[in-house]
Amino acid sequence: MLRDRTAIVGIGQTRFAKHLEESEKALACRAVLAALEDAGIEPHEVDALASYTMEETDEVELAKAIGAGDVTFFSRIGFGGGGSCATVAHLAMAVATGQASVGVAWRSRKRGSGRRPWTNTAQQLPTPAQWTRPFGLLRPADEIGMLARRYMHEFGATRDHLFNVALACRNRANQNPAAIMYERPLTREMYMDARWISEPLCLYDNCLETDGALACVIVGAERARDCRQRPVYLHSVAQGLPAQHHGMVNYWNDDPLTGPAWTAARQLWKTADFGPADVDVAQIYDAFTPLIPLSLEGYGFCGRGEGASFTEGGALELGGRLPINTGGGGLSEGYVHGFNLINEGVKQLRGVSTAQVPDAATCLVTAGEGVPTSAVLLRT
Amino acid sequence: MDTMTAEGLLLPWPDDDGEPFWDYARRGELRVQACADCGRLRFPPRPCCPHCGSFEEEWRLMSGRGRLWSYVVAHPPLLPAYAERAPYPVALVELEEDPRIRLVGTLTNSVRRPNAPWNAVPPQRLRIGAPVQAVFQAVTPEVTVVRWALCSG
């Protein structure tokens, strides 16, 4: 069992902006060195690395730039934002099994400056693109919009429910000086009048397009006690690729609305000492607002079809039933493939978030729902 | 092989498993891969049957009847040729023979109008569950795609 045998002891990040001058590689190095500095660990002690398959700075480039030592474990996780928590999970497994002792996970991305991935027509995957792209279903927003419309139809969810999600994230960003949307409040009127992207999704249902990088440092529990910061333990970790799942175009099974979150959640709770009712704060992957109700259901905060109504009455706000995305999330802090959600979870359990949940001792962090996913349960 | 039509629409880029689907579509037939041993339909096509493990396949003719499972209406930003057509609805249709098989396609307002513009059906006419019928549009001399005609009444 991995339970509490490893901990996150350092976090680091660059500034977030629509456009940063430095290269992705330089931003990656800055975030990693900041995380090591935060932990009080020398770069030459790093012997494990993990990132996303979409990360452009590879292990060789990163290790030699930061001055890592001999690296004995390195791992990449696929499926875009679905891999965020798995980077930490793989390092936890490597450290817990003695394959390495100091792990660094990171993500650096100039998604604000760079081109939108879906505009690259030369790099279309034949499966499943041959079944969608010719018909104008081009973008992740279209693919998730299809599921969102069906979800609204089956369960009576409305745009107001999606607005609840966008608003909670924006309100937290308004408390976070590092967030892109720090000084940009959102109103219901703005949301309802916003331009469409892919009906039923409007502009504010979509995450930001951000340049930035983040990293965190994982060590064994014993070492963690001697580090500079209060350790945040990895209580439980999980990945999820459900039977007959098809990625973001999950249109070809019995129930496309029961996504990878359900699979990851079963594993996550199986190896945890506590359950959804004991989670003080959650960082839920929010590339699109409908992913929140779907994830709330998958991770067991409510029953199937109840995710939308769960958002009512300020449930996702500070002081609500389950405060989420307390740094502003991908919707309003910055979209760096969900890595900012991991670091925000650590901040909450250190007690230093800009939107602190009083005495937060447990935090769920999730990766992208709707693609093969991952999640971690953090505790103090 | 061309990757786009003259107007700049993306053409299907079949993989080995998907090739027969497009070959049949070119002949005006909607066929779905099925296991030649246990008989179960499967989509998207793949090398072997996830139920019985058989590599024997057949391509079964579908009626072309289906129902709207969901739809979006796409607005810019889009690739240039798509932005010109926007806003346009895109349908996800469950097939009568097996509702787990859902095909993406654009909509037309009549089985007799396979070449109707993408916005031929106003989005406010769309309802989940509405019956649709497959029609075949030759988008180039080599490539035919399946579209969905909204059945009236």
**Domains contained in chain A, CATH given:** 6-114+208-379 (3.40.47.10)
Cβ contact, residue pair B75, A138, below 8 Å:
no
Interface of B with A in 83-112 (CB under 8 A): 85, 87-88, 90, 92, 100-106
What is the pLDDT confidence band of residue A125, given thresholds at 50, 70 and 90? low
Residue in chain B nearest A154 by alpha carbon:
B128
Nearest to A136 among B15, B88, B102 (CB): B88
Max CA pair span of chain B: 46
Distance CA B104, CA B21 (A): 14
Distance CA A333, CA A14 (A): 13
Amino acid at B11: L
**Which residues of chain B does A119 touch, with a Cβ-Cβ cutoff of 8 Å?**
79
Q: Could you report the per-residue pLDDT of A26-38, keeping only the tens digit for each? A: 999 999 999 999 9
Instruction: Tell me B17's DSSP state.
Output: T
C-alpha distance across the termini of chain A, in Å: 18
**Which residues of chain B does A201 touch, with a Cβ-Cβ cutoff of 8 Å?**
72
What 3-state DSSP class applies to A220? strand
Q: Å from A153 to nearest chain B CA?
A: 8
Catalytic residue positions of A?
Answer: 285, 335
Paired tokens of A112:
């604000």
Of all residues in chain A, the percent with pLDDT exceeding 70 is 98
Cβ contact, residue pair A138, B71, below 8 Å:
no
How many of the other CB atoms lie within 10 Å of CB of B139? Answer: 17
Cβ contact, residue pair B3, A121, below 8 Å:
yes
CATH match for B15-61 among 1.20.1070, 3.40.50, 2.20.28, 1.10.10: 2.20.28
Q: Could you report the per-residue pLDDT of A26-72, keeping only the tens digit for each? A: 999 999 999 999 999 999 999 999 999 999 999 999 999 999 999 99
Cβ contact, residue pair B101, A124, below 8 Å:
no
Place of tokens 């690729």: A241
The predicted structure's pLDDT at residue A344: 98
What is the pLDDT confidence band of residue A303, given thresholds at 50, 70 and 90? very high
The predicted structure's pLDDT at residue B152: 74
Whether A16 contacts A212, CB under 8 Å: yes
Whether A255 and chain B come into contact, CB under 8 Å, resolves to no
Cβ contact, residue pair A200, B72, below 8 Å:
yes
Q: Å from B13 to nearest chain A CA?
A: 5
C-alpha distance across the termini of chain B, in Å: 41
Whether B43 contacts B66, CB under 8 Å: no
Distance CA A48, CA A54 (A): 18
Nearest to B70 among A130, A149, A246 (CB): A149
Q: Could you report the per-residue pLDDT of A194-220, keeping only the tens digit for each? A: 999 999 999 999 999 999 999 999 999
Paired tokens of B45:
């096509």
Nearest to A216 by CA among A102, A336, A361: A102
Nearest to B50 among A129, A153, A244 (CB): A244
Span B63-153: which CATH code?
2.40.50
**Domain spans in chain B, listed from the N-terminal domain onward:** 15-61, 63-153
The predicted structure's pLDDT at residue A173: 98
Distance CA A65, CA A58 (A): 11
Whether B71 contacts A225, CB under 8 Å: no
Q: Could you report the per-residue pLDDT of B60-114, keeping only the tens digit for each? A: 999 999 999 999 999 999 999 999 999 999 999 999 999 999 999 999 999 999 9
Cβ contact, residue pair A135, B90, below 8 Å:
yes
Nearest to A150 among B69, B75, B77 (CB): B69
The predicted structure's pLDDT at residue A115: 85
Q: What is the mean pLDDT of chain A?
A: 96
**Which residues of chain A does B14 touch, with a Cβ-Cβ cutoff of 8 Å?**
126, 130
**Which residues of chain A does B10 touch, with a Cβ-Cβ cutoff of 8 Å?**
121, 124, 129, 133-134, 138
Residue in chain A nearest B41 by alpha carbon:
A252
pTM (two decimals):
0.97
